[in-house]
Amino acid sequence: MDMSIPDQKEKARLKGAGYLPNKDPERCSARIVTPGGVLTSEQSRVLSELADRFGCGKVTITSRLGIEIPGVAYADIEAFEKALAVSGLTVGGTGPKVRPIIACKGTVCTHGIYDTQSMAAAMHERFYVGWHDTKLPHKIKIGLGGCPNNCVKPNINDIGVVGQRVPALDAGSCTGCGACAAKCPMKCIRIDSGKAVIDRARCTNCGECTHVCAAGAMTAAETGFAVYIGGMWGKTGRVGERLDRLFTYDGVFEVIERTLKLYTELGQPGERLGAVVTRTGRDAFFKKLLEGM
């Protein structure tokens, strides 16, 4: 069978497997799954070699930290997959499934409240790999942000996670030096009558103020994760809704698992998670989601 130009049915199947059509009808882009957006240097070398050998000599980065090698001939897909296998990477990340998890560089960033890349790697195994054979009503995108700077825009993912460090003030120990106020990026701390005062309505729980107080008056009361549900961006935009509590590490995984099960139960074909939240009612959806948790 001549595979230089597959028929439309075969092209659709290959697209679902991670080979996206190019303008050249004989070629496609191989989408490489990069767990958490991290590659080893050896994996990077292999992909560069594959781009020269099978593609057009270019490696492109997707908006969700994936890799695509454009210009792969349909006729070469089998050979391409065999060559890719030595890197431990796979092609995929398309279709009505849990998409590859993305994470900011919170692992190494000075603002990072938690290790985003290790959490993304764990989520990759549990949700991308673990749910891979489960067809969902539509795609589910999960984004991890290490702090409230929101570099990966967690709240416009179907599920978003943001690191939180809640400041606690011991007014009795406060000397009114103003170091915390100077450090606060939101300018929500002021010195009033010789003591620091936090405007909680403006505070984003970035925790920047919690490690600059020489007197130890400003510390972290709680470190955890905020979770957003139902965001999306594209043809239609919707900001995800933040759940009304902070979660532990294990709690984040539990609430994501519950969300996927509830989405599978309530969602209609082609319906994004945010649309399900709107259709079923925010309060009813979140009550069911968090029941007994």
Which CATH code is given to the segment(s) 165-222? 3.30.70.20
Q: Where in the chain are all domains bearing CATH 3.30.413.10? A: 102-163+224-290
pLDDT of 62 strictly over 80: yes
Q: Which two tokens stand for residue 153?
A: 């825009």
CATH 3.30.70.3340 fits 8-85, yes or no: yes
pLDDT tens digits along 23-37: 999 999 999 999 888
Long-range contacts: 110-114, Cβ < 8 Å, 24+?
A: 111/146, 111/147, 111/149, 111/206, 111/208, 112/146, 112/147, 112/163, 113/146, 113/147, 113/163, 113/164, 113/165, 113/206, 113/207, 113/223, 114/146, 114/163, 114/223, 114/225, 114/249
Q: How far does CA 192 lie from the centroid of its chain?
A: 40
More confident residue, 37 or 55: 55
Q: Which SS3 state, helix, strand or coil, does residue 119 take? A: helix
pLDDT tens digits along 152-170: 999 999 999 999 999 999 9
Which CATH code is given to the segment(s) 102-163+224-290? 3.30.413.10
pLDDT tens digits along 162-214: 999 999 999 999 999 999 999 999 999 999 999 999 999 999 999 999 999 99
Q: Where in the chain are all domains bearing CATH 3.30.70.3340? A: 8-85
| C-alpha distances out from residue 197 to 170, 176, 211, 220, Å | 10, 10, 16, 15
* Of the candidates 78, 79, 88, the residue with the CA atom closest to the CA atom of residue 32: 88
pLDDT of 250 strictly over 90: yes
The pLDDT of residue 206: 97
Q: Where in the chain are all domains bearing CATH 3.30.70.20? A: 165-222
Q: How many CB atoms lie within 10 A of CB 15?
A: 16
pLDDT of 1 strictly over 50: no
pLDDT tens digits along 106-150: 999 999 999 999 999 999 999 999 999 999 999 999 999 999 999
- Computed over every residue of the chain, the mean pLDDT equals 95
